[in-house]
Amino acid sequence: MIEQLSQLDQGIFFAINHGLANPFFDWLMPLLRNRYFWTPLYLFIAIFLVRNYGKQGWLLLVFMGLTFAFSDYTSSSVIKPAFERIRPCNDPAMKASVNSLIACGTGFSFPSSHAANHFGLAVFLITLFSHKWKYITGLALLWAFSISFAQVYVGVHYPADVAFGAILGSMTGYITGTILLHLSSFNQWKPGN
C-alpha cells in the first residue's frame, strides 16, 4: 500500500514537473515560491490591518506571526526530522530525471513548509474576514495553492508533501483565527467596517 502511494505520488510529481513544463511556467513558478516576490503583498496586508483596525490590527499581525511560526516550526522542526523524506531533486534514484529550476536545498521534503505557512496564513485570513468579504476565500486559497503548486513544478517537493503541508497549515490557521475571534477584545469583531 505504501509503495503504491509512493508510486502514485511520483507519477503525479512527474506529470507536473515534466508534463506541464513550458517556458512561461519555467519563468513564473520560481518567482511564486520566492518569499521576496510576495513582500509587497505582506507589507500591504500589514499596513491595511494597522490602518483600518488600529490596536486590533496589531493583534491580528501578532496572531498572523504566531500562525506562521507554529506551522513553520511544526513542519520543519517536528515532522520533517521524524519522516526524513528526501526531496525529489536530491533522491539519487530520481534526481537525474527531475527538472530542477532552483537550487534543491539540503532539508527534508515532507511536509512542505511553504505550503504549511501559506495555507496557514490564508485560512487565518479566511477565518477572520470571509463572512464580510466573500471574495477573500477564493483569493487566499488561490494564493496559497499557487505557491504550493510551484514547489512541485520546480522540483523540490512531491505532491503529497504540499498536500500534507496545506492540511497542517489550514488547521493551524483555523485554530489561531478561532482563538483570536474568541478573545474578549474581538467579541464585537466586524471586519470590513
What is the maximum alpha-carbon separation in the chain? 57
28-43 pLDDT per residue, tens: 999 998 888 999 999 9
106-139 pLDDT per residue, tens: 888 899 999 999 999 999 999 999 888 889 999 9
Q: Per CATH, the architecture of 2-186 is what?
A: Orthogonal Bundle (1.10)
What's the mean pLDDT in 150-171?
A: 95
CA of 95: how far to CAs of 47, 51, 89, in Å? Answer: 42, 48, 5
Domain boundaries in the chain?
A: 2-186
How large a percentage of the chain has pLDDT more than 70?
94
- The answer, yes or no, to whether residue 184 has pLDDT greater than 60, is yes
What's the mean pLDDT in 92-114?
A: 87
